[in-house]
Amino acid sequence: MGRWLLGPVAAVTEAWGEVRVHRTRVVLSLVGVFLAVFAMTTITAAGNMGRQMMLESSERSGGRAATLQVSAYPNGAVTADGADAAARVLRETAERHRVTWWGLVSQGSGQMTVRFPSGAQLVTFSAVDPSYGTMHRALTDQGRFFTAADGEAFSPRLVVNRAFADQLGGFDEQVPPTVVLGGDRPVTATLVGVMEVPYSDPSMPAAYVLNSAAQAWGLVDPSTSGPPSLELWVPDADAEALTAALQTEVQASLPGYSVSAYRTDFGQDLGVVDAILAYGVRGVGVFALVLGGIGVLNVGLVTVRQRIREIGVRRSFGATGGRVFFAVLLESVAATFVAGVAAVALSVLLVSNFPLEAVLPAGVVLQDVPPFPVSAAVEGLLAATAVGALAGIVPATMAVRAKVIDAIRY
């Protein structure tokens, strides 16, 4: 082993030996550091979950980051042809830009007659494409959201709200309920899922229907519902440029229309949450670590006084001042590092096994549980090690300054 490597290896070996021998004292001195790192990593992980919950909630209404919406409304009276023309231009625009996730949406703008057992009733509905489920993180209470296959079914498929399902005596996934939709051509529709329908009164029946089914079965009257809007889920970096381009292109294709293109998701508003996580949690963590570090320093000082004879004996073995300094310093660093590892491990264990469903309020769901924040774990470990180094400097200096003869005779 080279001499350049031997020194550090021997110093670490010596430091680890000290930690092992004085483990009770070391463990007691590290409680503060342990708790600080544990709190720091766990709060960051919990904060990330909270952020994810807020994000998912916002994505259900405004779409994922970045969701753009383009609407084109005729300046004069709305006609079926005018609405169809707008829908066609919007569809062609999305295809031209080769956006992977896009769809046409008529959000809560139509009404259809539904023949419930208690009698026919006008129900507000939103016409969407199957992509809407992914783009808006559709979360069904029962059943499922639309798939592409639903667009090719021989009868309309519906995703309804709880009030709608209750009118039919509830929803059973094994035996999906059916209901007759009125209009010129009555048709039996099959319910595939139950979920909250935005932009509607939860106490009143409301439903989602696929655009293709609404058109095929004449469920939509474009002259009353107006043309659909186009929604596109695009990379965040492209959002601004694409919004301007869509506005210009669609307006050019539809001269007699009022065209507006804008961003609908709230992803950018989560910056405040990110700032709180970044500075608030770290601030509290640093404060806690400083307190923990004072504990380590205090115990370190007392320990060096108690071990002064031992340090003198080591000097008689040929330990240089530098070696004594680094042994005491490394002892502190090794101990706080181990405390950091233990704290992070416990934090991972807690966060990974936390019964989230039991704690979250009714209706609040976390679909994609964020992974344990590795950055917070690394930061915690580094901070703990740094605290160990800082807290070890004073005792290490004292150890070096001790006179060898006095130390042996102490």
Partner 1 sequence: MTATLSLQQVSRSVALPDGTTLHILTGVDLEVAAGEHVAVVGRSGSGKSTLLNIVGLLDTPTTGRYLLDGRPVSGLSARRTARLRGETFGFVFQQFNLLPGRTATENVASPLLYASGREFLARKRTARAMLERVGLGGRLDTMPEKLSGGEQQRVALARSLVRRPRVLLADEPTGALDVDTGSAVMDVLEELVRVDGTTLVTITHDLSVAARADRQFRLDHGVLTEITRDALAAATAHRETV
Which residues would be at the binding site for partner 1 (CB under 8 A)? 1-3, 6, 9-10, 13-14, 17, 21-22, 309-310, 313-323, 404-405, 408
Q: Are the beta carbons of 135 and 67 closer than 8 angstroms?
A: yes
Contact call for residues 256 and 73 (beta carbons, < 8 A) = no
Single-letter code of the amino acid located at 237: A
Is 60 or 314 the residue whose CB approaches partner 1 more closely? Answer: 314
**For partner 1, which is the closer residue by CB, 45 or 328?**
328
Matching residue, tokens 């070096």: 400
Q: Are 330 and 11 in contact (CB under 8 A)?
A: yes
Nearer to partner 1, 141 or 310 (CB): 310
Closest separation between CB of residue 385 and partner 1, Å?
A: 23
Q: Report in angstroms how near the CB of residue 316 gets to partner 1 at its nearest.
A: 5
Which of residues 154 and 317 has its CB atom nearest to partner 1 in the complex? Answer: 317
Nearer residue to partner 1 within complex by CB, 5 or 237 = 5
Please, what is the minimum distance in Å from the beta carbon of residue 9 to partner 1?
A: 8
Looking at the Cβ atoms of 256 and 322, the one nearer to partner 1 is 322
Q: Closest CB to partner 1 among 213 and 319?
A: 319
> Which is nearer to partner 1, 162 or 323 (by Cβ)?
323
The minimum distance between CB 15 and partner 1, in angstroms, equals: 10
In angstroms, give the least distance from the CB of 312 to partner 1: 8
User: What is the identity of the amino acid at 390?
Assistant: L
Find out whether 158 and 179 touch, Cβ atoms under 8 Å: yes
Provide, for the chain, the percentages of residues in helix, strand and coil under a 3-state DSSP scheme, each rounded to the nearest 5.
Answer: 60, 15, 25
Query: What is the Cα–Cα distance from 191 to 187, expressed in whole angstroms?
Result: 13
End-to-end CA distance of the chain: 36
Between 250 and 319, whose beta carbon lies closer to partner 1?
319
Cα separation, 38 vs 118, in Å, equals 58
**Distance of alpha carbon 184 from alpha carbon 191, whole angstroms:** 21
User: Burial letters for 81-117: b for 16+ Cβ neighbours within 10 Å, e otherwise?
Assistant: ebbebbbebbbebbeeeebebbbbbbbbbbbbebeee
The nearer residue to partner 1, 22 or 136, going by C-beta atoms, is: 22
Residue 322, C-beta contacts closer than 8 angstroms, at least 6 positions apart: none
Q: How far is the CB of 31 from partner 1 (least distance, A)?
A: 21
CB of 14 to partner 1, least distance (A): 5
Q: What is the DSSP annotation of 56-78?
A: HHHHHHH-SSSEEEEEEEESS--
Residues paired with 125 in a beta bridge: 110, 207
Give the Cβ contact number of residue 398 at 10 Å.
17
Residues contacting residue 378 through CB under 8 Å, at least 6 positions apart? none
Tell me how far, at minimum, the Cβ of 355 lies from partner 1, in Å: 43
CB of 299 to partner 1, least distance (A): 16
Q: Least Å distance between CB 318 and partner 1?
A: 1
Contacts of 327 (CB under 8 A, 6+ apart): 11, 14, 15, 18, 314, 319, 396, 399
